[in-house]
Amino acid sequence: MKKTFLLASLFLILMVILTLKQGRTPEWSDYQKEYFNEQISELQVQLGAIDNENKKKQVELQIASYQNRKPEIIDLILPNGKVERCKTCHIGIEEISSSHPSNTFGCVVCHGGNPLSLDETTAHAQMYGGSHPGSLNVASLSCGGTGGNGISCHANNQEQAKNEVDLVKTSIMSTKAGELSVVRMMFGLDKTKDVPGLAKGQVASLYPHPLQGQPSERGFKEDCLSQCHQSEGNLPVPQGLTSSNTQQGTAQVKSNGQNGDNDKVQGNGCEACHVLTNPTHTYIGDDTTIKANDIGHGMVHRLTTQIPYTQCNQCHNQGNHDALKMSFSVRSDMAKVVSDWKAGDTTWADRLSDYYLPGEIFARCEVSLDCIDCHTRRDVMGDDKLHTSQYDAVHLQCLDCHGTKERLPLTKKIENLNDLAFEEQITNSQFPALQIGDEIVRTVKDEELPFLRHKGDNWIQSSRITGKTFNVPLVYGSKCEQTLDEQGADSCHKCHDQSAQHP
């Protein structure tokens, strides 16, 4: 009798648990409902601005479709037969890029995790880098992994230039080695540019004694090396920027110019360049699982190779490093720079106002173009060498585009469809169509510049951001008194000495 009562009690408890569990709305269902409501709201706004009756009916049908739609488990079946359910929660997430379509690649190949789980904790377990798969400590698994078709992605390719994950770990932005050696020489600690004890690919912020126990060593590491975005350093937040309204919410940061402890903005390897951010690093896309006031996200879930100078500025235009005092000071006018960023750059004067630090000298072309129009693939992504000076790490000199008093810029004629220049064409839709027989510029270090071409008497630079073209002035045949062994920007700035104060 007791045994029967016990079994009946256990059965009753089990039924109650099952009933409660069935009655509870799963979290993924709430995400989908929120997404449907957001789409309805956006369509209703559009509807109010439409005069054409046919277009109105189309939008009304879309609204009705979302109103009648019920939450459901979304199975994504990949070409290799594997199933992923990530979009059951992340239903509104943007396509990462046209060359990485989710219906072919899925999500797990880049993010890791457990694709069949509908529970957040278990689904996100074992994700590469948490929500940042581009972090260099996991990039070999994500960006450098193998696709579902068995083809290597950005590592383990026969052609070295396509192994970006391996190369970037040796770049100056990843190691800071070139900058470290310069500082050591300034303090008289080294007579050469070699950095003893710094291994190839090692991050300089982990170097045990960069200043051999000097009192300023700690400040140097905290203020300079820790801000290296490839090292997951904390990015500086504009002084005086206590809040910034986004399209969907407000992100709060401390008024001293630094994020709160729980809202640190960090650079994360590949993402630091290839995922565009706004000044507050908040999300403005359609994925309802990402809240608009969560700091530390790209604007949308999308990769790009068209990287505007505003992206670079979020690390490189925030203030000044004083190598002698070992200190970093945030720009006092950053609130204006952020305001200009939001307004958009329509003229050369707009770009001039927020492109360079106050007092910095530059040439006009450096403002008209974007950073990636000059800095080459090997400059930014690395060339598999651990350079011990910044100058050695830079692949482009002024003479590469403008030539010298004795000769025109060096060129290369495209003769093979497998030329790496065509890959640059694919990854940037703004490039003018590249064809066999085209003559492109190559650097003294023999790197191709497919965005700079020689046609007849003209040397034409195409913006990698907008596609706008510029005629490149040549030194050859001009009155320029160029010195051949002084090809750094500082040398050219002696004559081409514009500044924000004196444009």
306 or 216: which leads in pLDDT:
306
**pTM of the predicted model, to two decimals?**
0.82
Q: Is 324 exposed, middle or buried (0-12, 13-18, 19+ CB in 10 A)?
A: exposed
Predicted confidence (pLDDT) per residue in 49-85, tens digit = 999 999 999 999 999 999 999 999 999 999 999 999 9
Name residues whose C-beta falls within 8 Å of residue 428's C-beta, 6 or more positions apart in sequence.
305, 306, 451, 464
Q: Which of 453, 431, 163, 152 is nearest to 305 (CA)?
A: 431
**Residue listed under structure tokens 């995400």:** 31
How far apart, in whole angstroms, are the C-alpha atoms of residue 142 and residue 254? Answer: 33
Helix (H, G, I), strand (E, B) or coil at 407: coil
- Residue 260: pLDDT band by 50, 70, 90 thresholds? very low
How far apart, in whole angstroms, are the C-alpha atoms of residue 377 and residue 433? Answer: 19
Spell out the long-range contacts of 450-456 with Cβ–Cβ below 8 A and sequence spacing 24 or more. Answer: 450/421, 450/424, 450/425, 451/373, 451/424, 452/401, 452/409, 454/409, 454/411
Q: Give the pLDDT of residue 5.
A: 55
Helix (H, G, I), strand (E, B) or coil at 312: helix
How far apart, in whole angstroms, are the C-alpha atoms of residue 3 and residue 10? Answer: 11
Q: Which of 90, 43, 34, 30 is nearest to 297 (CA)?
A: 90
317 or 27: which leads in pLDDT:
27
- Distances, alpha carbon 445 to alpha carbons 142, 267, 394, in Å: 31, 30, 10
Two structure tokens written together for 99: 């060359």
- Residue 292: pLDDT band by 50, 70, 90 thresholds? confident
What percentage of residues in the chain have a pLDDT greater than 90? Answer: 32
CB burial of 169-207 (b: ≥16 within 10 Å; e: otherwise) equals bbbbbbbbbbbbbbbbeebeebeebebeebeebbbbbeb
How far apart, in whole angstroms, are the C-alpha atoms of residue 428 and residue 432? Answer: 9
107 or 209: which leads in pLDDT:
107
- Residues facing residue 136 across a β-bridge: none
How far apart, in whole angstroms, are the C-alpha atoms of residue 17 and residue 11? Answer: 10
Q: Which of 352, 354, 317 is nearest to 339 (CA)?
A: 354
Residue 118 has pLDDT above 70, yes or no: yes
Q: Give the pLDDT of residue 423.
A: 78
- Residue 204: pLDDT band by 50, 70, 90 thresholds? low
Query: What is the arithmetic mean of pLDDT over 287-310?
Result: 89
Q: Give 191-221 as a DSSP string.
A: SSS--TT--TT--GGG-S-TTTT-TTHHHHH
Two structure tokens written together for 318: 């925030």
Residue 122 has pLDDT above 50, yes or no: yes
Q: Could you tell me if 136 and 130 are in contact, meaning their C-beta atoms sit under 8 angstroms apart?
A: no
- Residue 15: pLDDT band by 50, 70, 90 thresholds? low
Residue 373 has pLDDT above 80, yes or no: yes
Residue 18 has pLDDT above 50, yes or no: no
How far apart, in whole angstroms, are the C-alpha atoms of residue 214 and residue 206? Answer: 16
Name residues whose C-beta falls within 8 Å of residue 280's C-beta, 6 or more positions apart in sequence.
241, 244, 246, 251, 253, 295
- Residue 247: pLDDT band by 50, 70, 90 thresholds? very low
- Residues facing residue 328 across a β-bridge: 321
How far apart, in whole angstroms, are the C-alpha atoms of residue 338 and residue 280? Answer: 10
Two structure tokens written together for 9: 């009690």
Query: Which one-letter DSSP state was computed for residue 32?
Result: H
Mean pLDDT of all residues belonging to the chain: 80
424 or 478: which leads in pLDDT:
478
**Residue listed under structure tokens 């594997």:** 82
Query: Which one-letter DSSP state was computed for residue 432?
Result: P
What percentage of residues in the chain have a pLDDT greater than 70? Answer: 76
CA atoms within 13 A on the CB side of 126: 10
Query: What is the arithmetic mean of pLDDT over 99-118?
Result: 93
Residue 43 has pLDDT above 90, yes or no: yes
Predicted confidence (pLDDT) per residue in 339-364, tens digit = 777 776 666 677 776 666 666 777 87
How far apart, in whole angstroms, are the C-alpha atoms of residue 6 and residue 24? Answer: 27
How far apart, in whole angstroms, are the C-alpha atoms of residue 491 and residue 503? Answer: 18
**Residue listed under structure tokens 């950053």:** 334
Query: Which one-letter DSSP state was computed for residue 254?
Result: -
Which of 220-234, 240-254, 291-305, 345-359 has the highest average model confidence (pLDDT)?
Answer: 291-305
Q: What angle do CA 145, 148, 154 make, to 5 degrees?
A: 30
Predicted confidence (pLDDT) per residue in 393-445, tens digit = 888 888 899 999 999 999 999 998 888 888 776 666 777 888 999 999 999 98
243 or 87: which leads in pLDDT:
87
Residue 476 has pLDDT above 80, yes or no: yes
**Residue listed under structure tokens 């004083």:** 322
Q: Give the pLDDT of residue 253.
A: 36
